[in-house]
Structure 1
Amino acid sequence: MDTETRDASYNEEEGTVRFFLRGRPIILHAPSPLIEGFDLSKVNPAPHTRLKLEWVYGYRGRDCRHNLQLLPTGEMVYFVAAVVVLHNVEEQSQRHYLGHTDDVKSLCVHPNKLLVATGQTAGHDRREGRSWRLNPPPDRNAPEAEMWPHIRIWNSVSLATVAVIGIGEFERSICCLTFSKADGGTLLCAVDEAPDHNISIWDWQKSHRITETKCSADTVVAAEFHPLDKNSIVTCGKSHINFWTLDAGGTLYKRMGIFENRDKPKYVTCLAFTGQGDVVSGDSNGNVIVWGRGTNTISKFVRGVHEGSVFSICALKEGSIVTGGGKDGRLVQLDASMNPTGVEAQVPEHLGGVRCISEGRGSLLVGTTRSAVLTGALELGLSAAVWGHADELWGLARHPTLPQFATAGFDRLLHVWDSMSHSTVWSKDLAEPLQSAGFSPDGSLLVVGCVSGRWLSLDVETREVLTSYTDGNEPIQVVQFSPNGQLLALGSRDNNIYIYQVADDGRKFSRVGRCSGHSSYITHLDWSEDSQHIRSNSGDYELLYWNAGLCRQIQQSSSMRDITWATTNCTITFDTVGIWPEGADGTDVNGCCRAHEAPLLATADDFGKVKLYTFPASQPKSLCHIYGGHSSHVTSVAFLHDDSRLISTGGRDTSVMQWALV
């Protein structure tokens, strides 16, 4: 008897499920034992197991500023993707504020040091070609309204949300945030990354906007309330520094900083305030400028403190100033009279330039442009407390026997992480963008696929690159060893799968052949448990089967219905029908992974979500648990060797998240 649901139909005679992806029919064969009793209308329940975010690797230093502070709890607060991280370096612990639905772009701490305000960008499906002001959410309390750019104010001890402001009021994202200081924090100032870079002032406790005006047609990189002068704000960015006054009637007045005949910089890049209330700014020419309190004129000009831009200035409580260079990576101390003290520190080149400096307890916190956070003192040196990737991230591989995993990104970095200590076991710059990674079954080898079509094998113990080969000139999207470790399959964006024989303990690979037959790029592949067969998916939603030893396609896909597969990485199989929502585009799910022992299946999707299903998810109606934290596309998921944790990687958000199974 044939049965049909809204999105799929089942032919009992042939034992096949048919459903559509972007109008394309997909036909999948049920395993023989299921053919007779298979019922499409049954609902696959969500699993009893759930995920809890345990650790976030990375920091958003590539393009955000003023996003690293120390709280009285002893925790650093910073953000990456849609997560605000509260990280205690001494206790090696993290807590996470998960109220945001997309990339957090700004952060500030209330003068009471208890409340934190964070601003986010427009949600994933709201970014392109929409004006939020012309199309405000119909109900600002509806869950989908929180996809609009907005500000959340929350308690840093309980992590409870205190206020949500600005839904439907901002256009793009909130790039700058600052609480008023001279009046104890009753006001909040925000700058929208819209074309006019509107600046708005809010009575945040009443969720009431007092005023709004155009800040600058050019980029705005910083906005700060004056610590001593009530209703006074300073903003800076491309070609400007502006001094604002909020009058009793709620109107903002602007005075532009006057550079007179001195070098007007392309960018005024950062701001700080001295204990006396003078404004100190850094610029793209490497200069530091002091603006007299209450004026828009220069009182002191210190030329060439850095080579390239001054990215951050921190005024220390004892009166000195520390500046950080984006290009030269130097930290330079100036005394209260703006003279260099001779005390300096250097950020190691591989960690990037200085993005943000703030004062800790007797130490400095330094965020870098390559997603690291350093702690320490200028005299004694700095050490990295947080590492991460600094560019798009797709490569993820779990170690077969240890609580470790590897990530490989477009930033050329290969990191091997320890999930227990939450630190890198080792890292290597492989000098070109990386796309994929895979461990050998015994864990001694790590193969990395590059964007160029080159691929490398490394000895995990010595970290030495053993071999290098090239197959085509397109990215190597998937690398996977056969379960017996004797063969290696590489799926390329050039539509082919390349098979290699592994010899000499991985020091030598000999090409067996090429599996060609897909009409689009390879997205996923799985080996059979007996290492004889491969199944693969492609960019046009095909599921093909191969004889690995002969590199020959098996045309009769019904003959493969009872093969036992070692992994479930392919997103289009009989066991994964239920991960595709109705009307899904075939690119909506980027990856999936089956647990080793538990009946669990995790997926990575294009909307920043990690989902957990009961395996197999062969019913079109499969319920799941859904977890946010990533923004943009989640690129990969992998259960660790003992199924105690799930690792997920974000694409453009560059983050790595570790979830405990509870």
Structure 2
Amino acid sequence: MDQDEESEKPDDEEDYYEEEDEFETEVEESEEISERTDTAPEQSEYSYSEDPFLEEIEKSGEEPVKKISENFFYKYNEVASIPFVTQDSGIPLNLLTLIHSFGYDSTRRANLHLLDSQTLIFIAGNQIVFVDLTTFEQSYLRSNSGRGIGALAVHPDKTHFVVAEKGVYPNVIIYDYPLLRPYRILREGTEEAYAYASFNSVGSLLATVGSYPDYTITVWNWKEEQPILRTKAFSQDVFKVTFNPEDEEQLTTAGSGHIKFWLMALTFTGLKLQGFLGRFGKTAVTDIEGYMELPDGKVLSGSEWGNLLLWEGGLIKVELCRHTRRTCHVGPITQIMLDEGEIITAGEDGCIRIWDFETIDTADAVDESEMIEMEPINEMQVGKNVKLYSMVKIFKPGNSIWFAQDANGAIWKLDLSFSNITQDPKCLFSFHTGPITAMAVSPFTYLMATTSHDCSVRIFDFAAKLFLTQMDFKEGGTALTWAPRVVSYRGGLLVAGFEDGVIRILELFDPKGLVVFAGRRKVMAAQLHLKQAIKPHTAAVTAIAYEQNGEVLATGSKDKTVFFFVVGKQYEPIGYINVPGPVTQLVWTPKSYDDSFLLILCENGYVLEVPVPQVRETETLPTFEIKDLPIKCFHFMSIKSRILRDIEIERRRKRKEEKEKEKEERRKIRLQMMKALKESEGEEEEEGEQEEEEEEEEEGPLPEIFTPDKPCPILCGFYSAPKKFWISLGGYDSGFLYHCKFPDKQAKTMEEQQDEPFDFHLVEDTDDNPIRVISFSLSKFMMFCGMQKGQIRVYILKDQNLQLTDMQSYWSYSIHDNDYGQIQALCPSYDDRFVVTCGADSNIFVFNVLSEEELEEGLKATVPPARIGIETEKRAEDIEDPNTYSIEGARRKREHDQIMKEAEEIKAQKRAKLRDLRNEFEKLLVKNAELPEHMQLHRTEFDVDTKVREETERKMVKKIKQVEKELAWEKEKHRIALLKLQQRFRDSLEFDTVIVHAIQTEHKISTYRLLKLSGKYTKARRLSQTERRTSKFDWKEKEVVSAKKESQKDADIKVNLRMTMRIPKMCWPLKRPRITWVTSTSRLPQTTRSLSKCA
């Protein structure tokens, strides 16, 4: 199959797959190596002596291939990426040093490998993390490109491992183990990133496959750093590539909606990689995550719905399921392995099942469904909410211990011996899963709190590199802050915001000093206690901030509101204000400012400033909304296009000045030369004019003035002075920090407000990599910036002010994943000795800031002691239902209920009065009936005023007509729709289906739907009948029919005469009718009805 045909996947399955004979004959031709490298002839001729299909072909006149020495190693310092430092800035390269990682990218495919029985490795952003299973200590290797790592692979002998990178034509670095020296570097195997890598069974070859946009599969002679074969694997994502363990000339790839079988074939043009696309046939097309090659060449793969598919010859031979057509797994099968003669499958349902190899290998379809039912030999449920992605085994004789990657943020140790002494699954490590949304650092000690969409809040001691405790909830966390010292002198109070709009006040304490009650679990290093749960918002909470004096707490949300609370033992609501967009960040003015204001950054370009609201009594208020709070507004209008235009004008001006200087120097030199040669001065001026004209023609048009239609999002900001602030934006307006101030004159409405920054600062290399978070050291000497693409950038502020006048020198380092690892939070410790970061790639990194003092041995955080009586204090009532009313919703519901209650009371009073009047009227009717008949009043005389009834009836008729007018269009619409349905489905039928069921048996008979013949056919039929000559049979049939008609006519006359004799004289003038028998009197002819009356 050609690559052009493979690059597009039609919707129709029949078009997607070619005929079988064409499919078996057509193959994909691999690209020539000479197109990508200059040493193509040497690379294509190089081979292994032990592999017959890779034998070296010697050609006369060519130089022999130079082999790399087996003892050659690269220097790690030359291979590993290093931080970027502005030239001549004096900033040391080791400004920040990674000391620990608390995260794990558990949703990345095949992100868990085993180097030996005690060492696990996995990818964490731009680092490879090595974990010692005995001491749980970590060590790290940096990426080569500084743009992320795509895949890992381990040599079958555990002597080497592969790090496949990301970037522009990224490298594949092969390290030896355990010395961790760079051994080989493979270049130009893909365009942007590697998706998977694997060795063959003996480790002599390496296969890699790239991700978007090229999806290139490459087979490498990795020891010589030479590609052997290369071609495009598929036109969509490829998840995996492997060699057949029994036949290394065969490979398999699988991914999005496909599986493909490859063969290394020696053709007359050389060694080629031929690919055959698997055809699903009757089976639905599925993404394939896990598969394995069987010894006889067949391939066993998983499916999205959980069944096993057995492939042979590029076709599905049989689909395997459990008894009663139950699926083998509930959900996708992520990994399939052959171990000690048994097939092991792992799925996203958290189950591991063992299947009989012989049953699967010899399976054959017995009917058209092509499904075989079988049951697993053994199975294991790892745990609740477990989602297995990959498994690795300790390769020792008789060993049954496996390590599993759980996509829900864990690494498990599993015993698959299935014996009487089998150990229960053990969770070795537990991490956040998915993007880490918020982080806060204690202002007292080395404690850190994080939250994520996995519905947990976790506490870490980042100095001692320990996880302390966690608390789980029903909804994912979105915001987090640690209460300052003025709020909690113990330093253990946190406020967390969640996706459903709830904020929870949590108290952290050390439970070791508490009285241990019977049945209590083992004492942990720390514990969280829920103090209060409040729901001020109806959407996710995005920002939480304490006022500098600690008296007020402000929360912002995506529901475009900011809520204020009075800080105390129980947080009491003050009220809320509406803002023009979803809240991004809340910033209070520093203590050094005279007045306290709150800076509100909105996602859609609005920045607001409000003072601290006054505490008020809210119990009697119908709503919590604060309408009299003065608000200053700044609506950002893009000026980037003008900045770029001014920069270009300035660049051209400087360039022109430089050229003028160069031209003047050349002119002086020319004059001197001309004088020496006695040339005329006029000719010199003409030549100069020609040069000027040529220079003017080279200049292109200036950049156009552009304003984006949709406002760019404000990502972060901070105060620089009273009423002034810096903001960073994403989208088109990224690349600058904008200095803004609130205008003295405010527009009537916020929508009419349009403002521009009064200053800006160009931030290098951030056009598509904006600053997402900004924080400062305590001394304001360093400004820490977290970038969209996962880098940390540190600016040295020599003036230690927030005007950013000396923001020229900086230090930058790629830490998180560059594709999806945007930094969500970046915080220095309370003493500036550490910096911690968290990102959307599930990673949390701790750095040591360069200092003269070395970290002491055993440095650890101090957990706040427990309050007296906290062990007997009940946990606050939590809000678990996401549909619970918010504070404002509950208040409005209460007010609405009160109004409805009052209305119902008024209605009840009216009903009671009407009931009394009705009873009194009924008594009058009874008394009236007791009077003599001549004294009784007629019922109409009880109407005191007939005009009232007439007016009521007139109003009713008018309302009915009004309703009919309002519904006339809808009525006509439905009438026409019904008519069209009848014409489409009923009028075209000659006879509909009628089913008659027997009463005592199950028999039934039915007609069938009979369509009417078209008018064209009926007309043609009539014409053919008129033109046809009357046959002898037709002539006789006509005579018989006419005779019957005559006899029937005579009979009708006799009946009519008899009926006439019975008609009375009063009915005699009526004409003699023809008797017609009908089933309903309503359908009788008028004459017949008259006769019946007369009778």
User: Taking structure 2 as the reference length, what is the TM-score of the superposition?
Assistant: 0.47
User: Mapping of 1:477-516 within 5 angstroms?
Assistant: 477-493=542-558, 497-504=562-569, 507-511=570-574, 514=577
Shift of 1:437: 0.3
What is the aligned-residue RMSD (CA, Å)? 4.1
In the alignment, what sits opposite 1:139? none
C-alpha contact 1:410 1:434 (8 A) present in aligned 2: yes
Q: Distance in 2 between matches of 1:508 and 1:301?
A: 59
Higher relative contact order (CA 8 A, sep 6+): 1
Distance 1:562 1:295 in 2: 68
Structure 1 position 116 matched with structure 2 position 138: no
How much has 1:71 moved relative to structure 2? 0.3
Give the residue type in structure 2 aligned to 1:659. F
Equivalent residue runs for 1:544-583 within 5 Å? 547-548=611-612, 550=614, 560=722, 581-582=763-764
Partner residue in 2 for 1:390: 433
Q: Is the 2:163–2:172 contact (alpha carbons within 8 Å) kept by the matching residues of 1? A: yes
Output aligned runs, 1:92-171, within 5 Å. 92-99=136-143, 100-121=145-166, 146-167=167-188, 170-171=190-191
Which runs of no fewer than 5 residues in structure 1 stay unpaired? 1-42, 122-145, 564-570
Distance 1:431 1:151, change over 3 A: farther
Letter paired with 1:646: V
Aligned to 1:173: 193
Paired residues for 1:141-540 under 5 Å: 146-167=167-188, 170-182=190-202, 184-185=203-204, 187-194=205-212, 197-248=215-266, 249-256=270-277, 263=283, 266-272=286-292, 279-288=299-308, 301=320, 303=322, 304-316=327-339, 318-326=340-348, 328-334=349-355, 337=358, 343-350=378-385, 352-360=386-394, 362=399, 363-378=401-416, 379-420=422-463, 422-441=465-484, 442=488, 443-461=491-509, 463-473=528-538, 475-493=540-558, 497-504=562-569, 507-511=570-574, 514=577, 521-529=583-591, 533-534=596-597, 536=599, 538=601
Q: Whole-Å Cα distance in 2 between the matches of residues 353 and 541 of structure 1?
A: 40
Aligned partner of 2:786 in structure 1 is 604
Distance 1:450 1:598 in 2: 31
Once the two structures are superposed, residues 486-521 of structure 1 have per-residue CA deviations (whole angstroms, 9 ceiling, x without a partner) of 3212244566643321122xx3332265496x8884
Shift of 1:78: 1.4
- Partners of 1:56 and 1:277 in 2: CA distance: 43
C-alpha distance in structure 1 between counterparts of 2:171 and 2:720, whole Å: 52
Distance change (3 Å), C-alpha of 1:524 and 1:104? farther
C-alpha distance 289-561 of structure 1, shift in aligned 2 (>3 A): closer
Q: Which region of structure 1 is more displaced relative to structure 2, 303-312 or 158-167?
A: 158-167
> Per-residue CA shift, 1:620-649, capped at 9, x if unaligned?
334232221212421210123343321101
Partner AA of 1:84 in structure 2: I
Q: Report the 3-state secondary structure (helix = DSSP H, G, I; strand = E; otherwise coil) of the residue aligned with 2:290.
A: strand
Per the alignment, do residues 160 and 614 of structure 1 end up closer, same or farther by CA in structure 2, a change over 3 Å counting? farther
Structure 1 residues 270, 407: CA separation in 2 closer, same or farther (over 3 Å shift)? Answer: same
2 CA distance for matches of 1:645 and 1:498? 33
Change (3 A) 1:353 1:473: same
Offset at 1:172?
A: 4.9
| 2:356 and 2:377 in contact (8 A); partners too | no
Task: Determine the C-alpha separation between the residues in 1 that align with 2:607 and 2:738.
Answer: 7
Cα distance in 2, alignment partners of residues 650 and 489 from structure 1: 25
Deviation at 1:406, TM superposition (A): 1.5
> Partners of 1:347 and 1:422 in 2: how far apart?
27
Q: Does 1:87 align with 2:136?
A: no
Counterpart contact for 1:45–1:614, Cα < 8 Å: no
Change over 3 Å in CA distance of 1:236–1:107 after alignment to 2: same
| Mapped partners of 1:449, 1:529: distance in 2 | 25
The corresponding residue for 2:835 is: 646
Aligned-partner Cα distance in 1 for 2:779–2:146: 32
1:661 to 2:682 alignment: no
Deviation at 1:53, TM superposition (A): 1.5
Q: Is contact 1:46-1:622 (8 Å) kept?
A: no
Q: Structure 1 residues 434 and 585 mapped into 2: Cα distance closer, same or farther (>3 Å)?
A: farther
Three-state SS of the structure 1 residue aligned to 2:302 is: strand
| Selected match of 2:826 from 637, 640, 643 | 637
1:82-136, CA deviations, whole angstroms, 9 ceiling, x for partnerless residues? 3322222321111222214334332211234232223344xxxxxxxxxxxxxxx
Structure exhibiting the larger radius of gyration computed from Cα positions? 2
Contact map agreement 1:275 1:319 (CA 8 A) in 2? no
Matched, 1:626 2:808: no
Are residues 177 and 360 of structure 1, via their aligned partners in 2, closer, same or farther at CA, if it must alter by over 3 Å? same
Q: 1:406 to 1:494 in 2, by over 3 A?
A: same
Amino acid at match of 2:390: C
How many Å separate the matches in 1 of 2:94 and 2:632? Answer: 37
Query: So what's the TM-score if we normalise by structure 1?
Result: 0.74
Partner Cα distance (1:515, 1:284) in 2: 46
By how many angstroms is 1:196 displaced?
A: 6.8
1:430, 1:580 → 2: CA distance? 43
Judging changes above 3 Å, is the alpha-carbon distance between structure 1 residues 387 and 104 closer, same or farther for their aligned structure 2 residues?
Answer: farther
- Alpha carbons 2:565, 2:571 under 8 Å: kept: no
Q: Provide the rounded CA distance (Å) in 2 between the counterparts of 1:269 and 1:499.
A: 49
Identity %: 19
**Secondary structure of 2:116 counterpart:** coil
Which amino acid in 1 is paired with 2:121?
V
> Aligned letter for 2:554?
A
Structure 1 distance, partners of 2:338, 2:584, is 53
- In the alignment, the residues of structure 2 paired with residue 73 and residue 287 of structure 1 have an alpha-carbon distance, to the nearest angstrom, of 32
Aligned residues: 574
- Per-residue deviation at 1:475? 4.0
User: Does the Cα contact within 8 Å between 1:590 and 1:603 map onto a contact in 2?
Assistant: yes
Q: Please, which runs of 5 or more residues in structure 2 have no aligned partner?
A: 1-87, 360-373, 417-421, 510-526, 615-628, 634-718, 726-736, 741-758, 851-1095
Q: Distance between the aligned counterparts of 2:342 and 2:720, measured in 1?
A: 75
Q: Which has the higher strand share?
A: 1
Deviation at 1:283, TM superposition (A): 2.9
CA contact (8 A) 1:46 1:613 kept: no
Amino acid of the structure 1 residue aligned with 2:131: H
